[in-house]
DNA sequence: AAAATAATTTAGCCTGGACTAAATTAAACA
DNA sequence: TGTTTAATTTAGTCCAGGCTAAATTATTTT
C-alpha cells in the first residue's frame, strides 16, 4: 500500500497510464510487451512499474500477473487529465505558434507533464475551449468527458464513389503525417475513393482536387464521415 | 572527466547554473550555503553537484573547495539559455494567458526546462521578440546578449522630489509582488518619493496617484530611471 | 595563538526508474 | 499430452540526485 501524499504522479507514471488508456480502447487488457514497445522501455521495467501501480492507494490499475493490465476509474481519470493537457497543447502549438501538425506531438509529450491546472484552464479559455486537436482527436472537457463521434469510419471502409469529409488522422510516423499534411489531407477536407484494389485494399483517392494512391496503412489511419 | 554525449543538461543542472549566474552578478564566487538556500537543498547536496559540474567536459564551473564557485564561459552560456526561456515564458503567461505577474515565476520555473529550441523561437516570434519580461528583467536575445540599462537606480536612492519611471521590480516573495501589482507599481509607471525617513530609509511614495509607505526592503527591490 | 563557532566536505544511505540475465509461466504445436 | 517457443516475471545492478551524520577546514573571538 503506497500512500498518495498529494504529490502529482510522476512523468513516468503519467506516460504509463496514458498508454494503457489508449491501448485498452481497442484490445482489452494490455500486454507487458505492448506497453514496453509503446513506451520504449524493456519488458522487465514494465512489470516493475505495473507492480508499483497496482499497489497505489487509491489503486490506479488492475494488474494480474501474466494477464495484462487495465485502468481503474481513478487510473482512467488521471489518464484523461494527461490526454486533455496533451491535446490542448497540440492545439496551441498548431493554431497559435504555427507548428506543422507533425511536429506538435513530440513537444506536447513533454509539456503535458509540466503545466499546472491553472495553466491548463487559462490555455483552454484562450483557445476557446476547443473540442478537437489538430489531428481531429477529441479533447476531453473540464469534466474529462470525451465526445466520441460514432459515425466516423476509416477511409479504408469508405465505399468507392461516396463523398466524405476527413475527421481524424491518427498519428502515425512523423514523416507520414508530414506528407499527408502537405497534400492537404486535414480534418474538414473532402475526400472520395475513386477506385479500390480488391486484393490488397490499395485505393486511389481524390483529395484536395488531386488524386493520390494509398495503401491500407494510410487509409486505416484516416477517419472520415460520409457526407449526409 | 564526464563526456557531454550531446544530451541536454538535466533540470537540476540547469537550475544550479541559473542560480550561480544570478548570484555571481553581485557577490563573486557563490557559497555552498547560498546555493543550498536558493535551491532549497541541503549544503551537502550542493557540494556533491558542484564536484560533478566541475568535471564536466567542457567545464561548466570553476569550483575550488571551500572557496565557492563561478561559471565558465560555457556555464554562463547555458545559464543564459535557461534564463531566456524563463523570461520568454513569463512574458507569454502574462501577456497572452493573462496571468498576474506574481504567478508567472513558479510556472516558468518548470517550463524553462522542457521547451524545445524550436518552441523558444516560435514563441519569441509570436511575442514580437520582447526585450523585457513582466518584471522588467531583460530577456537575453537569440545570441544571448543581455541589454543592461546602466542608468537605473533603486527607488531607495531616488532623491526626494525627483520624478522617475519604474523600470524593474525584482521578484521578492509572491505576496509582495501581488501587492505591488495591485497598487499599480509596474514597469512604465511614474513614481516620486515625497518624503524619506533619514533614520531607517522608510519612504512615502507617490504611485499611480496614491501615496504609499515602503520600507527599504521594498524600495531596494524597485528600480527606476529618473525622468530626463 | 588557542578556542569556539560557522561553513563545507566526506561517507554512507535512499528512492525512482531504468537495465540485463536468469527463471518461470503460458500458449502453440505435434 | 509432452515439447518447443514466446511472453512475463524475478533477481540483482546502475545512475541521478537527493538526504543525514560525522569529519574537516575557515573564520572569529578571546
Ligand atoms: Mn509524455
Ligand atoms: Mn494529436
Ligand atoms: Mn527551474
Ligand atoms: Mn521575471
Per-residue confidence (pLDDT) for residue A28, from 0 to 100: 79
Task: For residue B22, give the CATH number of its domain.
Answer: 1.10.10.10
**Closest residue, chain B, to A117 (C-alpha):** B107
Q: How many domains does chain A have?
A: 2
Per CB-CB distance under 8 Å, the chain A contacts of B123 are 97
User: B71, B105, B122 — which closes off a domain?
Assistant: B71
A35 touches strand D (CB under 7 A): no
Residue A193 lies in a domain: yes
* Interatomic distance A53 CA / D11 C1' (Å): 20
pLDDT, tens digit, for every residue of B164-184? 999 999 978 899 999 999 999
User: A54, A71, A88 — which closes off a domain?
Assistant: A71
pLDDT, tens digit, for every residue of B18-71? 999 999 987 678 999 999 999 999 999 999 999 999 998 889 999 999 999 999
Per-residue confidence (pLDDT) for residue A5, from 0 to 100: 55
Residue A90 lies in a domain: no
Report how far residue A46's alpha carbon sits from residue A44's, in angstroms, rounded to the nearest whole number: 5
Q: Cβ contact (<8 Å) for B119 and A107?
A: yes
B47 touches strand C (CB under 7 A): yes
Residue A178 lies in a domain: yes
Q: Per-residue pLDDT for chain A (228 aa), expressed as one digit of tens each? A: 455 557 899 999 999 999 999 999 876 789 999 999 999 999 999 999 999 999 988 899 999 999 999 999 999 999 999 999 999 999 999 999 999 999 999 999 999 999 999 999 999 999 999 999 999 999 999 999 999 888 999 999 999 999 999 999 997 899 999 999 999 999 999 999 999 999 999 999 999 889 999 999 999 999 999 977
- Is residue B2 predicted with pLDDT exceeding 60? no
User: A71, A100, A130 — which closes off a domain?
Assistant: A71
Residue B52 lies in a domain: yes
Residue B8 lies in a domain: yes
Residue A108 lies in a domain: no
Per-residue confidence (pLDDT) for residue B149, from 0 to 100: 80
**Closest residue, chain B, to A124 (C-alpha):** B97
pTM of the model: 0.94
Per-residue confidence (pLDDT) for residue B140, from 0 to 100: 98
Domain range for A176 is 153-226
Report how far residue A71's alpha carbon sits from residue B67's, in angstroms, rounded to the nearest whole number: 53
Report how far residue A19's alpha carbon sits from residue A69's, in angstroms, rounded to the nearest whole number: 11
Residue A131 lies in a domain: no
Nearest to B111 among A98, A114, A126 (CB): A114
B32 touches strand C (CB under 7 A): yes
Residue A216 lies in a domain: yes
What is the CA(A38)–ligand 1 centre distance, in A? 11
Report how far residue B19's alpha carbon sits from residue B16's, in angstroms, rounded to the nearest whole number: 5
pLDDT, tens digit, for every residue of B56-114? 888 999 999 999 999 999 999 999 999 999 999 999 999 999 999 999 999 999 999 99
Task: For residue B205, give the CATH number of its domain.
Answer: 2.30.30.90
Contact B169, B214 (CB under 8 A): no
Per-residue cell: B80:
543564459
Listed residue (A127, A87, A79) closest to A104, CA to CA: A87
Per-residue confidence (pLDDT) for residue A208, from 0 to 100: 87
Secondary-structure percent of chain B, ordered helix, strand, coil, rounded to 5: 40, 20, 40
Per-residue confidence (pLDDT) for residue A174, from 0 to 100: 92
B42 touches strand D (CB under 7 A): yes
Per-residue confidence (pLDDT) for residue A1, from 0 to 100: 47
Amino acid at each position: 500500500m503506497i500512500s498518495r501524499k498529494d504529490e502529482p504522479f510522476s512523468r513516468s507514471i503519467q506516460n504509463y497510464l496514458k498508454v494503457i488508456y489508449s491501448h485498452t480502447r481497442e484490445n482489452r487488457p494490455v500486454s507487458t510487451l505492448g506497453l514496453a514497445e509503446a513506451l520504449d522501455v524493456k519488458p522487465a521495467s514494465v512489470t516493475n512499474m505495473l507492480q508499483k501501480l497496482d499497489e497505489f492507494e487509491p489503486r490506479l490499475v488492475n494488474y494480474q500477473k501474466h494477464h495484462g493490465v487495465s485502468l481503474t476509474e481513478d487510473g482512467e481519470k488521471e489518464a484523461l487529465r494527461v490526454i486533455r493537457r496533451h491535446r490542448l497543447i497540440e492545439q496551441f502549438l498548431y493554431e497559435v505558434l504555427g507548428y506543422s501538425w507533425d511536429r506538435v506531438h513530440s513537444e506536447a509529450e513533454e509539456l503535458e507533464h509540466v503545466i499546472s491546472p491553472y495553466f491548463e484552464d487559462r490555455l483552454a479559455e484562450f483557445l476557446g475551449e476547443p473540442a478537437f486537436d489538430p489531428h481531429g482527436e477529441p479533447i476531453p472537457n473540464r469534466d474529462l468527458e470525451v465526445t466520441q463521434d460514432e459515425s466516423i469510419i476509416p477511409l479504408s471502409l469508405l465505399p468507392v464513389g461516396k463523398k466524405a469529409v476527413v475527421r481524424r488522422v491518427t498519428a502515425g510516423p512523423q514523416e507520414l503525417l508530414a506528407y499527408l499534411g502537405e497534400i492537404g489531407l486535414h480534418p474538414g477536407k473532402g475526400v472520395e475513393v475513386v477506385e479500390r484494389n480488391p486484393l490488397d485494399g490499395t485505393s486511389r483517392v481524390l483529395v484536395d482536387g488531386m488524386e493520390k494512391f494509398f495503401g491500407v496503412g494510410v487509409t486505416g489511419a484516416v477517419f472520415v464521415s460520409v457526407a449526409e
